[in-house]
Structure 1
Amino acid sequence: MDGDRRRGWRQCLLAGAVFAVCMAGTTLPTPLYPLYQEKFGFSELVVTVVYAVYAFGVIGVLLLAGNASDAVGRRPVLLAGLGFSAASAVCFLGATALGWLYAGRLLSGLSAGLFTGAATVYVMELAPAGGASRATFVATAANMGGLGCGPLLAGVLAQYAPWPLYLPFVVHLFLVAVSAAVLLGLDETVRERRPLGTVRPQRPGVPPPVRPVFGPAAIAAFVGFALFGVFTSVSPAFLAQSLDVHDHAVSGLVVALAFFASTAGQLAVGRVGVRRSLPLGCAGLLAGLALLAGALVWDLLALVVASALVGGVGQGLAFRGALSAVAAASPPDRRAAVISTLFVVAYAGISVPVIGVGLLVDPIGLEGAGLAFITCMAALVGAAAVYLLRRPVPADA
């Protein structure tokens, strides 16, 4: 029995490592955008659009094939996700024009869309009986930790190793190849598999009884992902242009801190409870936005770092709280559709507002665009916080 438990945890951790590798690939280009701007000569608006294309890929997969692993099995879907991740790296390696970056980001979004749900479930299914709580920690840490490791790895390699626009993707391709070999050695957890042709697109929807909870939860998720979107798309440019920070490792570390802080925030939900995590997360997001505004006004790196940490914790609290509250409020037969809708809203947060910031950079500057974004997001999350204070999430959510 002990041997079976050890084997189960070993497989669970290996699946988590594969999850982290895939998610790291989605944020790998973050500290490299200033270098691509120098190489191809495009504007800050183009940076935000290149970044946002990723979200469109994720949303498309969530809607069209988010439940594919339930039919064909976890491993085939995750292998396909690794394939898209490798193809994304190849696009960045061979980039000779802007179109390659768009293609790379789209493929990266497809890989994340396939992994987000399937890998989370797979990690939990591989864990031995009674290990659901620890397996959830593994899945959360792999997801957000992988997202944080991507810019950190690329930033360090770009700053201290040769070929800054190539070596990060070569290293990632190697990690993807190792991950594929690891994945092939893991057990399949779906026993009754069906043909791919039986997979049907998921229709987003929010039943009327869920709407009072879904509204503020979706707003908090939207703002949290929007904050991450701005951090990962335009913070390297702000650090370079306004703070004269041209160290790619520092740029990657600042972005990584936001994702690592989000992991801490998500783990804290188990202690503070869902009822309090949503309003506390909203408060954290407001504080993170305020610190970011201070960084833009006074050009202080310390405030950028503080914003990443505080906003990251707020995002983690708010998002996991939102997910738990919405899942608890949803009827069992509609739960998957409601959660898919929440993910669609969340990923819209890392596309639409980010493009808005890019559009405003030319007429009012990067700082002005950032302050306009902060004002809009603060109004949204402030409204959600007030609503939650008046109508708290049910205690049993």
Structure 2
Amino acid sequence: MNGDRDRRGWLPCYLSGAVFAVCMAGTTLPTPLYGLYQDKFGFSELTVTIVYAVYAFGVIGVLLLAGNASDAVGRRPVLLWGLGCAAASAVCFLCATSLGWLYVGRLLSGLSAGLFTGAATAYVMELAPGRGSSRATLVATAANMGGLGCGPLLAGILAQYAAWPLHLPFAVHLALLAGSALLLLGLEETVRERRPLSTVRPQRPGLPPEVRSVFKPAALASFAGFALFGVFTSVSPAFLSESLDVDNHAVSGLIVALAFFASIAGQAAVGRFGVRRSLPLGCAALLLGLALLAGALRWQLLPLVVVSALVGGAGQGLAFRAALSGVAGASPADRRAAVISTLFVVAYAGISLPVIGVGVLSGPIGLESAGLVFIACMAVLVAAAAVYLLRRPAETSA
């Protein structure tokens, strides 16, 4: 089997990565369009953040209830279900005549991402030729974050320069999903011993004692990094429009995309710096990114928004890949999946809860002040993680 895969080369791995990217692009596709939906349906900034956060609740639910489904029934069936949820989400946005359609669309989008997160990562790595695990990990990382970045970029360009801004992006995504389903059907199944769906049981997050010291700073940094992404993808278009008079949807989409593309660069750099150094370096870059974002909000400077996206995104990539590697390496083999699921639950909580907090505060104190409060809270979390990391060598030697 591995010999056949070696002869075919990397093409199946790359094709599965392309399918992964297409699905993840749908989860961020509405980002530059929220302002248009606000004008159409007349809802507040708080509602925007709740619509956005519904996605994270869908992801967390799938990770807890069926995160290991592809180990039982196979990778391709689960990924086809994920593509189906993504297509249903696109249809909801195409048919949206009220706010309820957006909630359902975002929930379905979260379900698709939850189904893809574990299954597609495993599938990409299993389709790679032998001894290509490091390269395959990078393909999976680039597909995940690259897809997230391409979503707002595609939607922003189509909304700005083409007709039907609230419909064409989702029609294009439906076409991409159809092509992805055909690609997926042409790839081999990598799970040989499949079991019935009835054997799938909910995964209970857990932390063995030997993982806790590693998990604490990893969880803090992951929460803060994903929270930064959550704010960028939910409220930054509104800030650009209201405070910086940037009404170009393509520009809004590009700035959000830059954060995700920078994350890919940060994750790729972990191999150069090593896992142990990458987490504190990622925390430092996250702190700098948060400081730059605070400056952008305080002085209303577009260049600072761009630089904060690049620096914060790179910091998130460094910190999260190092956190994931460190936690996985410290976990006993029979509990590894549960520990990694716990880290992802914390990370996706970071995408949802702080974003809703920004939405709640934006009403009484304004979007810029709410953003500054968010930045201060996230800076405390990142600083706590950094302090913990600096103290760990002394504690270990003791």
The separation in 1 between residues aligned to 2:113 and 2:394, in whole angstroms, is 30
In the TM superposition, what whole-angstrom CA distance separates every residue of 1:68-111 from its partner, at most 9, and x where no partner exists?
Answer: 00000000000000000000000000000000000000000000
Q: What is the identity, as a one-letter code, of the residue corresponding to 1:51?
A: Y
Return 143-152 or 385-394, whichever deviates more: 385-394
Do structure 1's residue 14 and structure 2's residue 40 form an aligned pair? Answer: no
Matched, 1:229 2:230: yes
Query: Deviations 1:312-338 (Å, cap 9, x if unpaired)?
Result: 000000000000110111111111100
Q: Does the residue aligned with 1:127 lie in a helix, a strand or coil?
A: coil
AA aligned opposite 2:151 = G
Question: Could you tell me which residue of structure 2 aligns to residue 371 of structure 1?
Answer: 372
Quote the offset at 1:2 in angstroms.
8.8
- For residue 281 of structure 2, what is the aligned residue in structure 1? 280
Offset at residue 133 of structure 1 (A): 1.4
Number of the residue aligned with 1:216: 217
**Partners of 1:154 and 1:252 within 8 A in 2:** yes
Query: Does structure 2 conserve the Cα–Cα contact (< 8 Å) formed by 1:325 and 1:393?
Result: no
Q: Is the 8 A contact 2:69 2:200 kept in 1?
A: yes
1: CA distance, partners of 2:138 / 2:291: 30
The alignment's TM-score, normalised by the length of structure 1, stands at 0.98
Report the counterpart of residue 267 of structure 1 in structure 2.
268
Q: Aligned pair 1:184/2:211, yes or no?
A: no
- Asked if structure 1 preserves the Cα contact closer than 8 Å seen for 2:5 and 2:127, the reply is no
In 2 relative to 1, CA 101–163 (structure 1 residues): closer, same or farther, beyond 3 Å?
same
Tell me the equivalent position of 1:44. 45
Task: Quote how far apart the aligned CAs of 1:17 are.
Answer: 0.3
Give secondary structure in 1 for the equivalent of 2:10: helix
Taking the aligned partners of 1:18 and 1:233, their CA distance within structure 2 comes to: 24
In the aligned structure 1, how far is the partner of 2:7 from the partner of 2:64? 36
Match of 2:99, as an amino acid? Answer: L
After TM superposition, give the deviation of residue 3 of structure 1 in Å. Answer: 7.5
Task: Output one character per residue of 1:324-362: Cα deviation in whole Å (capped at 9) or x when no partner.
Answer: 110111111111100000000000001000000000001
1:308-387 superposed matches below 5 A: 308-387=309-388
CA offsets 1:118-154 (integer angstroms, 9 cap, x no match): 0000000001111111111111110000000000000
Compare 1-10 and 179-188 and name the one that shifted more: 1-10
Q: Any idea what the Cα deviations from partners look like across 1:146-176, whole Å, max 9, x if unmatched?
A: 0000000000000000000000000000000
Which secondary structure does the structure 2 equivalent of 1:246 belong to?
coil
1:83 and 2:84 equivalent?
yes
* Structure 2 CA distance for aligned equivalents of residues 379 and 4 of structure 1: 48
The residue correspondences of 1:111-126 to structure 2 (distance < 5 A) are 111-126=112-127
Aligned equivalents of 1:307, 1:139: Cα separation in 2: 25
SS at match of 1:350: helix
| Residue pair 2:54, 2:352 contacting (<8 A) in 1 also | yes
1:100 aligned onto 2:90: no
Deviates more, 1:123-132 or 1:385-394: 385-394
Q: Distance in 2 between matches of 1:355 and 1:241?
A: 19
1:213–1:393 CA contact under 8 A, matched in 2: no
Partner residue in 1 for 2:303:
302
Mapped to 1, the partners of 2:18 and 2:395 lie a distance apart of 35
Question: Aligned AA for 2:387?
Answer: V
Tell me if 1:74 matches 2:75.
yes
**Worse overlay, 5-14 or 273-282:** 5-14
Aligned to 2:26: 25
Q: Distance in 2 between matches of 1:150 and 1:161?
A: 16
Secondary structure, aligned partner of 2:269: helix
Structure 1 CA distance for aligned equivalents of residues 388 and 126 of structure 2: 36
Q: Within 2, Cα distance between the matches of 1:132 and 1:347?
A: 26
1:388 & 1:318 partners in 2: Cα distance? 12
Aligned partners of 1:392, 1:223: CA distance in 2, in Å? Answer: 23
Is the contact between residue 229 and residue 259 of structure 2 (CA under 8 Å) also seen in structure 1? yes
Q: Does the Cα contact within 8 Å between 2:5 and 2:128 map onto a contact in 1?
A: no
Note if contact 1:275-1:393 (Cα within 8 Å) is conserved in structure 2. Answer: no
Q: Which amino acid aligns with 1:263?
A: I
Alignment of 1:104-183 (within 5 A): 104-183=105-184
State the shift of 1:5 in Å.
2.6
Q: Give 1:209 deviation, angstroms.
A: 1.5
Question: Where does structure 1 differ by over 3 angstroms across 4 or more consecutive aligned residues?
Answer: 1-4, 392-395
Letter in 2 for 1:348: A
Distance (whole Å) between structure 2 residues aligned to residue 41 and residue 384 of structure 1: 40
Distance change in 2, residues 1:388/1:29 (3 Å): same
> Across the two proteins, how many residue pairs are aligned to each other?
395
- Report the residue type matching 2:362 in the other structure: V
Question: Could you tell me which amino acid in structure 1 is paired with residue 353 of structure 2?
Answer: V
Aligned 8 A contact 2:292 2:305 in 1? yes
